[in-house]
Amino acid sequence: MKKKTKRIAIFASGGGSNAEAILQYFDQRQDVAIVLICTNKSTAGVLDRAERHGIATHIFSKAEYTSSQALIETIEAQAIDLVVLAGYLKLIPADFTRHFSKRIINIHPGLLPEFGGKGMYGMHVHEAVIAQQAPCSGITIHYVDDEYDHGATIFQHAIPVQSDWAAKDLAKAVLAVEHAWYPRVLDGVLKT
């Protein structure tokens, strides 16, 4: 019997380089399909990438955030198996995370639990790592629950922080590690 294609929705708020890495990785695969790219920002660069790949997009309305039932229905309507957060900056309502428990995954550009929590996203993470002269940083891929950066860890990969690096150098190094690992780790999760 032919196995069912796994359907992914990506949520992103920014440029979407992680979304791009995921789209390219699964491009030729019959068993996995990126069917929807969702954003909270109508100007997000990820929308152009979606268009180039011919993927449907959805911009969340205020109403969907007021009633998380509407948000749940938007995703359920597409029979989504896995929601992948790739630089998605808005907190996901608790009803949504409970409904899709163990079916939402996030990537954090630092080693949790230390460099995480409210306000610790993007460059804030890298600035904190440099300010603390931490010997290493890296990525954490984890399930999403109703607290920031809190769900169970699926995968971590550490890199050494060079002593002459500024936050922007660290950001560049970590982003390369994100692109290399996020698609592969998602692939592994989809196979379990």
Burial class (CB in 10 A: 0-12, 13-18, 19+), 115: buried
- Residue selected from 11, 16, 80, 161 as contacting ligand GRF according to rule CB under 6 A: 16
Per DSSP, the three-state class of 8 is strand
Q: List % helix, strand, coil for the chain (3-state, nearest 5).
A: 40, 20, 40
Asked whether position 143 contacts ligand GRF by CB under 6 A, the answer is: no
Which listed residue (53, 58, 108, 126) is catalytic? 108
Contact segment (CB under 6 A) with ligand GRF among 9-17, 29-37, 59-67, 141-149 equals 9-17
Please give the structure tokens belonging to residue 178: 């994100």
Asked whether position 17 contacts ligand GRF by CB under 6 A, the answer is: yes
Q: Are 97 and 65 in contact (CB under 8 A)?
A: no
User: What residue type is 14 in one-letter code?
Assistant: G
* Residue 58 is a catalytic residue: no
Asked whether position 151 contacts ligand GRF by CB under 6 A, the answer is: no
Asked whether position 140 contacts ligand GRF by CB under 6 A, the answer is: no
- Residue least distant from ligand GRF (Cβ): 87
Site string for ligand GRF, 72-91 (x = CB under 6 A): --------------xx----
Q: What does the CA dihedral 14, 40, 122, 181 come to, rounded to 10 degrees? A: -70
Residues paired with residue 38 on neighbouring β-strands, in sequence order: 11, 58
Asked whether position 115 contacts ligand GRF by CB under 6 A, the answer is: no
Residues that bind ligand GRF (CB under 6 A): 12, 14-18, 86-87, 107, 109, 121-122, 175, 178
